[in-house]
Structure 1
Amino acid sequence: MLDTPLGAVQVVSLADQAADPEAFAQSFGGSFERYGFAIVRDHGIDEALIERCWAATRELFAQDEATKRRGHVPGGGGARGYTPFGIEIAKDASENDLKEFWHIGRELPAGHRFAAMMSANVWPEAPAGFRETFLELFAAFDAAGEKLLSAIARYLDLTPEWFVPAVEDGNSVLRLLHYPPVSADAPGVRAGAHEDINLITLLLGAEEAGLELLDRDGNWLAVKPPAGAMVVNVGDMLQRLTNHVLPSTTHRVVNPPPERRGNSRYSMPFFLHPAPDFPIQTLPGCISEARPNRYPEAITAHDYLHQRLVEIGLIKA
């Protein structure tokens, strides 16, 4: 069942944070606690940069399959570069997703302590300026994410800087997503029902219909933000860290109506991850008699990510 209205998922302005960080944290965190999602406008990422990125994304995926596959790293688990159409599958799904994507990660200096756990980036020969453009976008997402994590920390009664050491040199990933036109008899959906793995996801491109979240009352809610706004959602790492105070909500991307099936859909999610050695250990303030600790054993972000990538078929066990 689909509820067409967006309901009460909060639309907040990141521009309000500087004037009243506590009020912003309560609005943003409250939407996270209720829905696992929030919509953020005035996020500070330059519109001209975003437009350059959309143009480069369309040009990238318009290349022939052989050219794109030069960016594929066999056995790399999709960590960097190109993942061809139809490989990723949602956990417990029966049909693979109808998408292809390109992953860009953090650039590390030679000899960095995380070099063995964070793959080097793979850069295509075209479009021109691809590397510089998307490293600029990566840095802009990083900056916006740091502000949002500060609000989450306030909401959880932590110091505003609590997440800063956790995400320093974090294994975040910028995904360029292409959902090709969908045939009338296509099996599956563009992206099956799933939860994200990371701390939080910052998404551009949800104006094109298709993204839906599963509300806790069992209804699917269509997520359609104002033009230029960012959709932000809780990932499983943050859910585990907060003992489900902030829920990682199931969501999906459904196939378009018949009149839109001939159109591609593009989006750019930024999966904000902590550093690989960050211990995901339940926050004491999220444990109570009414909410016992679901996760008494800590796990590093690297080990947790590996477990989940096996589940979605990007890494073989």
Structure 2
Amino acid sequence: MSEAAVPLVDLSESREGPGRAVAAEAIRRACETIGFFAVTGHGVPQDVIAAARREALAFFARPREVKMQTPQPPERISRGYSWLGSRGLAFSLGNRTPPDLQESFAMGPVEPAPAALDGTEDARAFFAPNVWPAVQPGLQPAFEAYYRAMAELSAHVLQLFATALGLPRDHFDAEIDHHTSTMRAILYPPPPETVEEGQLRAGEHTDYGTLTIVRGDDVPGGLQVRTRAGAWIDVHPPAEGFVCNIGDLMMRWSNDHWLSNLHRVALPPAEAGNRARLTFAFFHNPNADALIEPIRGFYREGEAAKYPPARFGDLFLRKHLSAQTMKAAQGAGA
């Protein structure tokens, strides 16, 4: 595979038999070279995708004062509405940029925290209640159905990751049985006539968790990923498919043999017209108390671990909070 391309992996025969090994090997090569791959044959019903899209577009079309009735909480966790200019993803890498040109609506787990986390900081940070707009009762069931479908797909891909790493297929199962994943519907509106220097729809960043699954409109001003040679290339989603990328935790788990890669969302060229772009991004995260340490799979024969063991919750919160533009600008979340 050329590193100047995002490979396509067919998952339709990846549950059992030879097709499983084929899919796992394709994923391994993609994760070693560019950290991104697209999938088809995923089994997610198209009506689930369509319903979530319909409800998202209806929500973003509402007046700002209505959307602000379900704002992101003051603790800056991924719940509710984040307004245009409230986030800057490049801050997560310590890069100060103008705010990203996007608005979004986020949700977290639909199941309650496990009993072992009752009353803990992990429960507050990762299992906070979701907030839903009273004026749009159809949004909650549509988003929850999409979230559950993405969680199921993620669990399957994590089993393929285990196979790709030379581990038993259920290796990660115990680390994700109370996963702390979040989902964000993101609207990138038509950009204003004048933008600030360095301003993008989403600044350069890497993701934080195990796996991100993206469903986005294939229009100008979309997702771009950086190759190892330093070039930015456009990522085009397959028809009825998804784009996947690994996050920092999976890179850490692989002892840096897999690549959590820089990506961004560019501004559309002037000649492309004044078009908005809708994206759903599912950020799969393990259990809050999952211990993240380099895996002794086939990569680590005679190789020392590059990272000490660390809890997922501790690794995640520091980086997540720094992506909130106002907190970073004030020096908080450090």
TM-score range, shorter chain: over 0.9
Q: What CA distance in whole angstroms lies between the structure 2 residues aligned with 1:17 and 1:254?
A: 33
* 1:172-191 alignment runs, 5 A limit: 172-187=181-196, 188-191=199-202
Q: What CA distance in whole angstroms lies between the structure 2 residues aligned with 1:104 and 1:113?
A: 22
After superposition, the Cα gap between the structure-2 partners of 1:249 and 1:50, relative to the gap in structure 1 and judged at 3 Å, is same
- Residue 25 of structure 2 corresponds to 26
- Displacement of 1:288 after TM fit? 4.9
- Displacement of 1:76 after TM fit? 2.3
- Displacement of 1:279 after TM fit? 0.9
Q: Which SS does the other structure have where 2:12 is aligned?
A: helix
The match for 1:230 among 210, 233, 242 is: 242
Q: What CA distance in whole angstroms lies between the structure 2 residues aligned with 1:203 and 1:126?
A: 27
Alpha-carbon RMSD across the aligned residues, in angstroms, is 1.9
- Displacement of 1:34 after TM fit? 1.1
- Displacement of 1:261 after TM fit? 4.6
- Residue 109 of structure 1 corresponds to 112
- Structure 1 stretches of 4+ with a deviation exceeding 4 A read none
Identity %: 27
- Displacement of 1:110 after TM fit? 7.5
Residue 246 in structure 1 maps to residue 258 in structure 2: yes
* 1:235-314 alignment runs, 5 A limit: 235-285=247-297, 286-289=299-302, 292-295=304-307, 297-313=308-324
Name which of structure 1's ranges 11-20 and 96-105 shifts more when overlaid on structure 2.
Answer: 11-20
After superposition, the Cα gap between the structure-2 partners of 1:47 and 1:313, relative to the gap in structure 1 and judged at 3 Å, is same
Q: Which SS does the other structure have where 2:279 is aligned?
A: strand
- Displacement of 1:277 after TM fit? 0.4
Q: What CA distance in whole angstroms lies between the structure 1 residues aligned with 2:113 and 2:41?
A: 36
- Residue 204 of structure 2 corresponds to 193
- Residue 223 of structure 2 corresponds to 211
User: Any unmatched runs of 5+ in structure 2?
Assistant: 118-122
Q: What CA distance in whole angstroms lies between the structure 1 residues aligned with 2:86 and 2:182?
A: 18
Q: What CA distance in whole angstroms lies between the structure 1 residues aligned with 2:287 and 2:211?
A: 14
The match for 2:152 among 143, 154, 157 is: 143
Residue 49 in structure 1 maps to residue 19 in structure 2: no
Residue 94 in structure 1 maps to residue 97 in structure 2: yes
* Residues 261-281 of structure 1: CA deviation (Å, up to 9, x unaligned): 521111001000001000111
Q: What CA distance in whole angstroms lies between the structure 2 residues aligned with 1:105 and 1:148?
A: 20
- Residue 120 of structure 2 corresponds to none
Name which of structure 1's ranges 235-244 and 111-120 shifts more when overlaid on structure 2.
Answer: 111-120
- Displacement of 1:101 after TM fit? 0.9
Contact 1:206/1:231 (8 A) holds in 2: no
* 1:162-173 alignment runs, 5 A limit: 162-173=171-182
Q: Which SS does the other structure have where 2:124 is aligned?
A: coil
* 1:69-84 alignment runs, 5 A limit: 69-84=68-83
- Residue 129 of structure 1 corresponds to 138
Using the size of structure 2 for normalisation, the TM-score is 0.88
Q: What CA distance in whole angstroms lies between the structure 2 residues aligned with 1:206 and 1:246?
A: 27
For 2:247, the aligned partner's letter is: G
* Residues 35-79 of structure 1: CA deviation (Å, up to 9, x unaligned): 100010121111111111111111111111111111114422142
* Residues 9-54 of structure 1: CA deviation (Å, up to 9, x unaligned): 2101110203421111001221121110001012111111111111
- Displacement of 1:260 after TM fit? 3.5
After superposition, the Cα gap between the structure-2 partners of 1:141 and 1:111, relative to the gap in structure 1 and judged at 3 Å, is closer
After superposition, the Cα gap between the structure-2 partners of 1:268 and 1:12, relative to the gap in structure 1 and judged at 3 Å, is same
Using the size of structure 1 for normalisation, the TM-score is 0.92
Q: What CA distance in whole angstroms lies between the structure 2 residues aligned with 1:306 and 1:283?
A: 22
